[in-house]
């Protein structure tokens, strides 16, 4: 496996410098703490982050109408509390800071530690934990895994637009929790992630196989089967989301089709077309659609489908609101 | 030309909708394709005739609702979903049972349901650390799957007067009772 890198220890630093080189017209860069941020605004700041390797998440979502800061950890490893503390300090204008965290044990623990330290120093800080992954934990209980995956980007967008409108920290926390409950995501891989440090695939998959329900760090899925077509993947993911939502004809949804890192846009659009036909067959009212590489599993060849049940038409306005974040 | 499963699903859904009001014998391929706004020729790319379409629905939809969920949901939830599915599609199935030329519904559903019963038995035996002869399990699963298909057929023919929740709950209890009996476990520590 070849990677366009120089030194696996310096991957994140060099990526951040390159990102800043390309986007210095709209973002600032704190190199010491690996923070991409923008200048303070007189409204609640949204801070997200996590391990690197999920680009454009989360640095690509720093921009007007989305995040105020993204804190990057090492590859697939969350940032330290001191980095998160610095991101809170850099962005808090006094209106408060909302942390948007993907539901992985280490991420939640480290962001909570930073939150508590900054609360003790007088900052208003709260946290929304995104847990949209509806693959399964294991085959004994079939409980859903509930980690945070691509749906996190929808939370960034909806809350970003609401924050810019002047919503209070309390309101944003409630909105974030409500929106999160309505998001389900399921992913599928046709090739595993292979990280440069160890060159070993995150799971074994033969050339003819597809793996349903994989996670963004190469977590195992729930079923491998012979791969035939994009349609096969779209049907499987839609059927599983349907079983959870138990939707009725006329229900309103927004859709995010997400490439997992090594998936050509042509394949993403072909898959999106299959989703279009299937959701039309279900007679759902699809009010917003986004297709692209938004939250990746480094170099996984695969795709995820996120849906959000729209309970409030305002959420669609927020999804459509302008932003200059490069990753959206 | 490679066939499209989604096109098959669209054609199938159209037939199912038409069968809510019209007997199967009175529905032509032209009626179906006019209703789904596709060329008549498209039908023949995907199916030989309307009987093959009907058989495909039986085969594909029972697979989608049973086999494709075996690795994703507990057997109890699959039974719940299955009764919901038949409840929602009762008009179609009631009409389809009138078609005397075929009886493949029984064949497909019993095959798939047998797999589900085997999963239920295996899950519960694993939890209770008991072992049962594979042949014995196979015979039991066959027995239950045929009973299940007969039950579902009668339930639909009588317009689903009992709720899908009640049906699923009785089936679930039946599986649990059977397993308690064969493992000699009367304490009820099977899940």
Of A222, A231, A243, the CB nearest to B5: A231
Q: Are residues B81 and B22 in the same domain?
A: no
Q: Are residues B33 and B56 in the same domain?
A: no
- Which of A187, A224, A273, A281 best tests the B interface by mutation, with the highest count of B CBs <10 A? A281
Half-sphere exposure of A223 (CA within 13 A, CB side): 16
Q: CA angle at residue A13 from A12 to A14, to 5 degrees?
A: 95
Of A235, A240, A243, the CB nearest to B5: A235
CA distance A82 to chain B (A): 40
Q: Are residues B15 and B56 in the same domain?
A: no
Query: Band of the pLDDT at B128, cuts 50, 70, 90?
Result: confident
pLDDT value for A202: 86
Has residue B189 been placed in a domain? Answer: no
ipTM of the predicted structure? 0.93
| Cβ contacts of B77 on chain A, cutoff 8 Å | 142
B1 interfaces chain A, CB cutoff of 8 Å? no
The predicted-structure confidence for B159-168, as pLDDT tens digits, reads as follows 999 999 999 9
B6 contacts A274? CB cut-off 8 A: yes
B64 contacts A277? CB cut-off 8 A: no
Of B6, B9, B72, the CB nearest to A240: B72
The correct CATH number of A10-181 out of 2.40.50.140, 3.40.50.720, 3.40.50.150, 3.40.50.10440 is 3.40.50.10440
Of B13, B64, B74, the CB nearest to A281: B13
CA distance B162 to chain A (A): 21
Of A142, A222, A281, the CB nearest to B74: A142
Task: For residue B15, give every residue at least 6 positions away whose Cβ sits within 8 Å of its Cβ, in sequence order, or none.
Answer: B27, B32, B50, B53, B54, B57
Nearest to A256 by CA among A154, A171, A175: A154
Has residue B3 been placed in a domain? Answer: yes
Region A56-64 average pLDDT:
98
A142 contacts B6? CB cut-off 8 A: no
H or E stretch at B11: helix B5-18
Q: For chain B, how many structural domains are there in total?
A: 2
Residue B184 in this model has a pLDDT that exceeds 90? no
Q: Where in chain A is the domain with CATH 3.40.50.10440?
A: 10-181
Backbone angles phi, psi at A27, to 5 degrees: -130, 160
Question: Closest-CA residue in chain B for A211?
Answer: B71
Scanning B75-94 for CB atoms below 8 A from A yields 77, 81
A231 contacts B4? CB cut-off 8 A: yes
Q: Are residues B78 and B130 in the same domain?
A: yes
- Which of A231, A240, A279 best tests the B interface by mutation, with the highest count of B CBs <10 A? A231
Token pair belonging to A92: 């808090």
pLDDT value for B185: 58
Of A141, A239, A278, the CB nearest to B68: A239
A184 belongs to the catalytic site = no
| Cβ contacts of A236 on chain B, cutoff 8 Å | 68
d(CA A262, CA A298): 8
Q: Are residues B25 and B66 in the same domain?
A: no
Question: Closest-CA residue in chain B for A135?
Answer: B72
Residue A246 in this model has a pLDDT that exceeds 90? yes
Has residue B86 been placed in a domain? Answer: yes
Among the listed residues A54, A58, A184, A301, the single catalytic one is: A54
Q: Which domain range does residue B5 map to?
A: 1-47
Q: Quick one: three-class SS letters along chain A? A: CCCCCCCHHHHHHHHHHHHHHHHCCCCEEECCCCEEECCCCCCCEEEEEEEECCCCCCHHHECCCCECEEEEEEECCCCCHHHHHHHHHHHCCCCCEEEEEECCHHHHHHHHHHHHHHHHCCCCEEEEEECCECCECCCCCCCECCCCCCHHHHHHHHHHHHHHCCCCHHHHHHHHHHHHHCEEEEEEEEECCECCCCCCECCCCCCCEEEECCCCCCCCCCEEEECCCHHHHHHHHHHHHHHHHCCCCCCEEEEEEEECECCCHHHHHHHHHHHHHHHHHCCCEEEEEEEECCCCCCCEEEEEEEEEECCCHHHHHHHHCCCCCCCC
Q: Are residues B40 and B94 in the same domain?
A: no
B10 contacts A235? CB cut-off 8 A: no
Region A230-240 average pLDDT:
98
B69 contacts A243? CB cut-off 8 A: yes
Scanning B9-68 for CB atoms below 8 A from A yields 9-10, 13, 64, 68
Q: Are residues B62 and B15 in the same domain?
A: no
Has residue B188 been placed in a domain? Answer: no
Residues in A whose CB is inside 8 Å of some CB of B read 136, 139, 141-142, 213, 222-223, 229, 231-232, 234-236, 239-240, 243, 274, 277-278, 281
pLDDT value for B186: 52
The correct CATH number of A183-310 out of 3.30.1180.20, 3.40.50.720, 3.30.1130.10, 1.10.340.70 is 3.30.1180.20
A156 belongs to the catalytic site = no
Q: Are residues B93 and B18 in the same domain?
A: no
Among the listed residues A58, A156, A217, A294, the single catalytic one is: A217
The predicted-structure confidence for A76-125, as pLDDT tens digits, reads as follows 999 999 999 999 999 999 999 999 999 999 999 999 999 999 999 999 99
Residue B190 in this model has a pLDDT that exceeds 70? no
Nearest to A182 by CA among A208, A205, A151, A209: A151
Q: A174-183, A308-317, B127-136, B164-173: lowest mean pLDDT where? A: B127-136
Q: Are residues B35 and B63 in the same domain?
A: no
Mean pLDDT for all residues in chain A: 97
pLDDT value for B102: 59
Has residue B130 been placed in a domain? Answer: yes
Q: Are residues B76 and B124 in the same domain?
A: yes
Q: A223-232, A249-258, B98-107: lowest mean pLDDT where? A: B98-107
Has residue B191 been placed in a domain? Answer: no
The predicted-structure confidence for A16-27, as pLDDT tens digits, reads as follows 999 999 999 999
**CATH number of the domain to which B6 belongs:** 1.10.10.60
Question: Contact, A40 vs A69, CB < 8 A?
Answer: no
Q: Are residues B3 and B25 in the same domain?
A: yes
Q: Where in chain A is the domain with CATH 3.30.1180.20?
A: 183-310
Q: Are residues B165 and B78 in the same domain?
A: yes
The predicted-structure confidence for A195-209, as pLDDT tens digits, reads as follows 987 778 889 999 999
Residue A303 in this model has a pLDDT that exceeds 60? yes
**CATH number of the domain to which B105 belongs:** 1.10.357.10
Beta strand A97-102 with A301-309: parallel, antiparallel or unpaired?
A: unpaired
Question: Contact, A299 vs A226, CB < 8 A?
Answer: no
Residue B187 in this model has a pLDDT that exceeds 90? no
Query: Band of the pLDDT at B105, cuts 50, 70, 90?
Result: confident
């Amino acid at each position: 496996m070849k990677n366009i890198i120089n030194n696996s220890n310096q991957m994140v630093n060099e990526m951040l410098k390159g990102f800043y080189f390309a986007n210095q017209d709209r973002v600032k860069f704190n190199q010491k703490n690996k923070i991409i941020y923008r200048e303070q605004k007189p409204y609640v700041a949204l801070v997200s982050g996590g391990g690197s390797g999920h680009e454009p998440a989360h640095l690509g979502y720093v921009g007007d109408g989305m995040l105020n800061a993204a804190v990057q950890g090492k590859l697939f490893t969350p940032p330290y509390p001191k980095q998160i503390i610095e991101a809170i300090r850099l962005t808090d204008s006094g209106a408060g800071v909302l942390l948007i965290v993907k539901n992985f044990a280490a991420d939640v623990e480290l962001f909570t530690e930073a939150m508590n330290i900054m609360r003790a120093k007088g900052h208003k800080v709260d946290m929304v934990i995104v847990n949209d992954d509806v693959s399964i934990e294991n085959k004994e209980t079939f409980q859903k895994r509930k980690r945070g995956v691509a749906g996190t980007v929808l939370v960034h967008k909806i809350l970003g637009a609401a924050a810019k409108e002047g919503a209070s920290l309390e309101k944003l926390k409630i909105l974030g929790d409500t929106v999160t409950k309505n998001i389900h995501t399921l992913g599928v891989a046709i090739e595993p992630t292979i990280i440069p440090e160890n060159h070993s695939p995150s799971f074994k998959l033969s050339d003819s196989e597809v793996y349903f329900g994989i996670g963004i760090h190469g977590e195992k899925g729930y079923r491998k089967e012979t791969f035939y077509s994009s349609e096969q993947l779209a049907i499987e993911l839609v059927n599983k989301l349907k079983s959870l939502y138990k939707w009725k004809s006329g229900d309103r949804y927004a859709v995010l089709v997400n490439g997992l890192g090594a998936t050509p846009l042509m394949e993403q659009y072909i898959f999106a077309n299959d989703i279009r036909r299937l959701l039309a067959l279900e007679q759902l009212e699809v009010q917003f659609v986004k297709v692209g590489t938004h939250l990746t599993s480094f170099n996984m060849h695969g795709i995820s489908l996120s849906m959000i049940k729209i309970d409030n038409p305002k959420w669609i306005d927020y999804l459509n609101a302008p932003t200059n974040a490069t990753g959206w | 030309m490679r066939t499209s499963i989604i096109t098959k699903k669209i054609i199938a859904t159209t037939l199912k909708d038409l069968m809510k009001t019209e007997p199967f014998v009175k529905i032509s391929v032209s009626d179906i394709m006019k209703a789904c706004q596709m060329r008549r020729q498209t039908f023949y790319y995907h199916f030989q005739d309307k009987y093959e379409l009907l058989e495909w629905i039986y085969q594909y939809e029972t697979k989608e609702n049973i086999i494709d969920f075996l690795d994703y949901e507990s057997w109890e939830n699959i039974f719940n979903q299955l009764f919901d599915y038949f409840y929602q599609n009762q008009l179609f199935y009631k009409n389809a049972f009138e078609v005397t030329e075929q009886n493949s519904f029984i064949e497909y559903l019993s095959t798939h349901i047998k797999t589900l019963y085997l999963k239920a038995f295996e899950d519960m035996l694993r939890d209770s650390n008991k072992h049962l002869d594979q042949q014995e399990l196979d015979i039991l699963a066959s027995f239950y799957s045929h009973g299940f298909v007969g039950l579902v057929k009668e339930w639909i023919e009588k317009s689903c007067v009992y709720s899908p929740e009640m049906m699923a709950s009785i089936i679930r209890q039946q599986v649990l009772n059977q397993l308690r009996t064969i493992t000699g476990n009367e304490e009820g520590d099977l899940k």
